[in-house]
Amino acid sequence: MPEPIALCFSGGKDSCLALQELRRQGRFEVVELVTTVTDAFDRVSMHGVRRSLLREQADSIGLPLTEVVVPPEPSNVVYEREMGKAFAKLRQRGISRVGFGDLFLEDLREYRVRQLAEAGLQCEFPIWHTPTDELARTFIRDGFHALTVCVNPAVLPVSFAGRAFDDAFLADLPSGVDPCGENGEFHTFVFDGPIFDRSIAVDLGELTERDGFGFCDLLPAGSAIPAKAVAG
């Protein structure tokens, strides 16, 4: 029987590919998604995606969602305390492993291993060290669809926010920007693909810059006039 596993899930492409790969391997059954949400903004931390769209994703994927609520710019102490509470609950439910969509940042991997070990849990990294150019093409080839929701203006023009993650996007990336944004160059929201029962319908909202990042606000379809529908 496959072993139950939870997955730390941002709603972006790497999380979705990690979920797909865990299911493909057959060793584990993903039974829960865990996402960090910023309370003051009611949005997914770092990505800036509305909580309502995160919940639509989880519903379409067909998995329960644990939302770890933190304040804006939480200290490590606060972040680790709240994540520790969530991990303890997983352990109480008989889950001993948590998956991550990390690709090649060794220090981040080591941090996660240490953090989960303190909670009596183990880590799985199903797409670890997959070449990121190959992974980006696999994402597109497999029928996933995503929008870029956050960019780091230090390395990528803000105009990339709101663009579809497709072949044209990859072709336009400046030299030195990782095709999967693994160094924090950009983040995405996946609205359709093989792990979803239905597409998540969204409209493109306002482009803004705050806290050193550029964001494209995504709105539930039909909630903004005028707005550009990108999925339906």
Beta bridge partners of 51: none
- Give this prediction's pTM: 0.92
In 3-state terms, the chain is what percent helix, strand and coil (to 5)? Answer: 30, 30, 40
Sign of CA dihedral 189, 191, 192, 194: positive
143: its two tokens: 């029928």
Q: What is the pLDDT of residues 178-192, one digit of tens each?
A: 999 999 999 999 999
> 138 pLDDT exceeds 80?
yes
> 223 pLDDT exceeds 70?
no
Q: What is the pLDDT of residues 13-50, one digit of tens each?
A: 999 999 999 999 999 999 999 999 999 899 999 899 99
* CB-CB contact of 228 with 219 (8 Å): no
Q: Which residues contact 54 (CB under 8 A, 6 or more apart)?
A: 11, 35, 37, 44, 65, 67
